[in-house]
Amino acid sequence: AQTVTQSQPEMSVQEAETVTLSCTYDTSESDYYLFWYKQPPSRQMILVIRQEAYKQQNATENRFSVNFQKAAKSFSLKISDSQLGDAAMYFCAYRGTSGTYKYIFGTGTRLKVLA
Amino acid sequence: EAGVTQFPSHSVIEKGQTVTLRCDPISGHDNLYWYRRVMGKEIKFLLHFVKESKQDESGMPNNRFLAERTGGTYSTLKVQPAELEDSGVYFCASSQDFYEQYFGPGTRLTVT
């Protein structure tokens, strides 16, 4: 069975600095998708970034980028120029390419942004 | 376009009572998922609907949980009778294809 591990329950970053959130996963599948979702306090989860496993190039969305290491099964999220609005719970998720396409989530990392 | 909505946002009930959670997916989304997060733990899959049919209910904890999706539109998740370990945040998500799921704000269920 697939698993996702986020080893950092909480992280802090100074405004305008860069922070990296870690995520590792385990799977025997060769093709899959990885996601980072952000959940601000009392608000719904929104997709931050998505990575297809067959793509070697790391995904980037503005200030958000990933470091996808397929062999190491690692999928970290880097947030550059951190802003107060980045404060949220961040969830790493895995989705296979067969079956129901359900997500498998990690336990989440709470990111605090310090002014 | 309206997002996924869930009702209620918070529910506090006593052990043994019944609670029904509702999810309204994004219009036109055939796929609807229920997930649950118990405090401090990962978000876990409960079940998946395609239109009104249950495609996968492998994550449902036990037969105290009953999910329905009327006419392929909104979905309800009933817990009867509720137990203390049912406390958590219940998320609903919908998707048009299998590419990305859109999540609702969740229902926080507290069983006392």
* Minimal Cβ distance to A44: which of B33, B41, B104: B104
Q: What is the mean pLDDT of chain A?
A: 94
Asked if B31 and B96 count as a contact pair (C-beta separation under 8 A), the reply is yes
Contact flag B42-A101 (C-beta cutoff 8 Å): no
Chain A CB within 8 Å of residue B91 CB:
yes
Residues B45, A108: C-beta atoms closer than 8 Å:
no
B86 vs B1, higher pLDDT: B86
Averaged pLDDT of chain B: 94
Q: How many CB atoms lie within 10 A of CB A110?
A: 15
Question: Residue A99 pLDDT more than 80?
Answer: no
By the CB < 8 Å criterion, does B34 face chain A?
no
Which chain A residues contact residue B55 at CB under 8 A?
100
- Residues in chain A within 8 Å Cβ distance of B40: 107
Strand (E) positions, chain A? 3-5, 10-14, 19-21, 24-26, 32-39, 46-52, 60-61, 64-69, 74-79, 88-96, 103-105, 109-114
Which is more confidently placed, B109 or A1? B109
Looking at residue B97, its pLDDT comes to 80
Lookup result for tokens 């392929």: B72
Residue A103 to residue B42, Cβ atoms within 8 A:
no
Who's near A13: CB < 8 A, 6+ residues apart? A19, A79, A82, A86, A111, A112, A113, A114
pLDDT digits (tens, 9 = 90+) for B78-95: 999 999 999 999 999 999
Tell me if chain B has a CB within 8 Å of the CB of A102.
Answer: yes
pLDDT (tens digit, 9 = 90+) per residue, A61-98?
999 999 999 999 999 999 999 999 999 999 999 999 87
* B3 touches A: beta carbon within 8 Å: yes
pLDDT of B1 reads 64
Chain A, chain B: beta-carbon pairs less than 8 Å apart: 47
| Residues of chain B positioned with their CB less than 8 A from the CB of A35 | 100
